[in-house]
């Protein structure tokens, strides 16, 4: 019996080699090779060089602000995002569709524009700065300013991950809980919240990841005082401007590893989210 040419797989739809080749080629040239070059350069650093970089209190402070600030901002976004998603899904009010569309503004508005707008708002003479100054609260040119900017850029993530899951919750589930004697609050935190948990956590992680790497909107409002209100991406830029390629590369490599870990975590969360959704539908 002749075996039909097994080396060349049969594909009815043409163009596989061409399109996959283009995809892999462009991905390698534009993304993979540049990112690899960063790691290759970082791997050339000696142990002493790494130690020196991390012993620097300015570096430590920048990491604390980028990760700590992002954590606070993501927590605020988780709470506010859940509230916004809830109101958009469960309540009708005039202009709801407009508000729904506006939620994506931070995706569309250039970060530099957001940065100078926030800085103008929270500056001591700004619309908001003027109001809070008498209470001794300073936002602009402090770490608090960085957090405000991080809240802005992360705002859509929690809303957009929670919204579809919330809309999918069957009203019968809540009615069942109520018929079993659960109060409104009990229904919320024992039935609804656990259903939303994976989506909420995914949104939180996405907002966190975005805030950690954010640059444009933060630098205008944070004041960028070394050791106090300086974020890691800015520190990378500062090192570059000083022609300290080694320092910039080392810090960037650490950031990149942190982003990849976050990406893996987010992928895991999304799979969990999907599995739960599809099991609910089955």
Partner 1 sequence: MIEVQNITKHFGSFRALDDVSLAVPKGKLVALLGPSGSGKTTLLRILAGLEAPDRGKVILDGVEATEQKARDRGIGFVFQHYALFRHMTVADNIAFGLTVRKGKDRPPRAEIDRRVAALLDLVQLSGLAGRYPTQLSGGQRQRVALARALAVEPRLLLLDEPFGALDAQVRKELRRWLRRLHDELGLTGVFVTHDQEEALEVADEVVVMNKGRIEQVGSPAAIYDSPATPFVYRFLGNVNSLPCAIHDGRAEIAGLSLAIEAPNSGGEGNGIAFVRPHDVEVRPPADGLPRAVVEQLAILGPVVRADLLLPGNISLEVELTREQQNHLSLAKGSPVGLSLRRARVFAGA
Partner 2 sequence: MRRDESPLIRWLLIALALGFLGLFLVLPLAAVLAQALGKGTDAYFAALTQPDAWASIRLTLLVAAIAVPVNIGFGLAASWAIAKFDFRGKSLLISLIDLPFSVSPVISGLVFVLLFGLQGWFGETLRDHNIRVLFAVPGIVLATMFVTFPFVARELIPLMEEQGREEEEAAIVLGAGGFKTFLTVTLPNVKWGLLHGVLLCNARAMGEFGAVSVVSGHIRGLTNTMPLHVEILYNEYDFVGAFAVASLLALLALLTLVAKSALEWRLRDEIAALRQS
Does 121 participate in binding partner 2 (rule CB under 8 A)? yes
Does 41 participate in binding partner 2 (rule CB under 8 A)? yes
Among 59, 72, 150, 236, binds partner 2 (CB under 8 A): 236
Give the total of residues touching partner 1 (CB under 8 A).
8
The CB-of-235 to partner 1 minimum distance in angstroms stands at 51
Q: Which of partner 1, partner 2, none does residue 137 bind (CB under 5 to 8 Å by kind)?
A: none
**Per residue, what are the HEC states of 211-223?**
HHHCCHHHHHHHC
Q: DSSP letter string over 154-188? A: HHHHHHHHHHHHHHHS-HHHHHHHHHTT--HHHHI
Q: DSSP letter string over 29-70? A: IIIIHHHHHHHHHHHT--HHHHHHHHH-HHHHHHHIIIIIHH
> Between residues 2 and 14, which has the closer beta carbon with respect to partner 2?
14
Does 193 participate in binding partner 2 (rule CB under 8 A)? no
Return the closest-CA partner of residue 118 out of 135, 103, 106.
Answer: 106
Does 281 participate in binding partner 1 (rule CB under 8 A)? no
State the burial class of residue 210 (Cβ atoms within 10 Å of its Cβ: 0-12, 13-18, 19+): buried
Does 2 participate in binding partner 1 (rule CB under 8 A)? yes
- What is the CA angle 197-201-204, rounded to 5? 140
CB 145 within 8 A of CB 221: yes
Q: Which of partner 1, partner 2, none does residue 3 bind (CB under 5 to 8 Å by kind)?
A: partner 1
List the x/- string, 5-24, binding to partner 2 by CB under 8 A.
------xxxxxx-xxx-xxx
Cβ atoms within 10 Å, residue 126 = 18
Does 128 participate in binding partner 2 (rule CB under 8 A)? yes
> Between residues 109 and 228, which has the closer beta carbon with respect to partner 2?
109
Does 214 participate in binding partner 2 (rule CB under 8 A)? yes
The CB-of-2 to partner 2 minimum distance in angstroms stands at 25
Q: Which of partner 1, partner 2, none does residue 237 bind (CB under 5 to 8 Å by kind)?
A: partner 2
Among 58, 189, 260, 268, binds partner 2 (CB under 8 A): 260
The CB-of-20 to partner 1 minimum distance in angstroms stands at 19
Does 17 participate in binding partner 1 (rule CB under 8 A)? no
Q: Is 224 left (phi over 0), alpha (psi -120 to 50) or beta?
A: left
**Site of interaction with partner 1 (CB under 8 A):** 1-6, 10, 12
């Amino acid at each position: 019996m002749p075996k039909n040419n097994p080396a060349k797989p049969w594909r009815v739809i043409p163009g596989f080699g061409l399109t996959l080749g283009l995809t892999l080629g462009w991905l390698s040239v534009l993304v993979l090779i540049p990112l690899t070059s960063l790691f290759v350069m970082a791997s050339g650093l000696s142990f002493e060089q790494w130690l020196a970089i991390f012993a620097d209190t300015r570096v430590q402070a920048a990491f604390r602000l980028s990760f700590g600030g992002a954590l606070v901002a993501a927590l605020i976004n988780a709470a506010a995002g859940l509230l916004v998603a809830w109101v958009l899904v469960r309540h009708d009010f005039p202009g709801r569709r407009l508000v729904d569309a506006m939620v994506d503004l931070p995706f569309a508005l250039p970060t530099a524009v957001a940065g100078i707008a926030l800085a103008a708002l929270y500056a001591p003479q700004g619309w908001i700065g003027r109001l809070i100054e008498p209470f001794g609260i300073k936002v602009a040119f402090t770490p608090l300013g960085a957090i405000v900017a991080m809240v802005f850029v992360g705002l859509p993530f929690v809303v957009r991950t929670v919204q579809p899951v919330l809309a999918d919750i069957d009203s019968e589930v809540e009615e069942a809980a109520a018929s079993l004697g659960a109060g409104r609050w009990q229904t919320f935190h024992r039935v609804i919240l656990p259903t939303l948990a994976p989506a909420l956590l995914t949104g939180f992680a996405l907002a966190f990841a975005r805030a950690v790497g954010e640059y444009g909107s933060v630098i205008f409002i944070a004041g960028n005082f070394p050791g106090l209100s300086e974020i890691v991406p800015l520190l990378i830029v500062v090192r570059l401007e000083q022609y300290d390629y080694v320092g910039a590369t080392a810090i960037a490599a650490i950031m990149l590893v942190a982003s990849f870990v976050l990406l893996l975590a987010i992928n895991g969360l999304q799979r969990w989210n999907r599995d739960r959704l599809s099991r609910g539908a089955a």
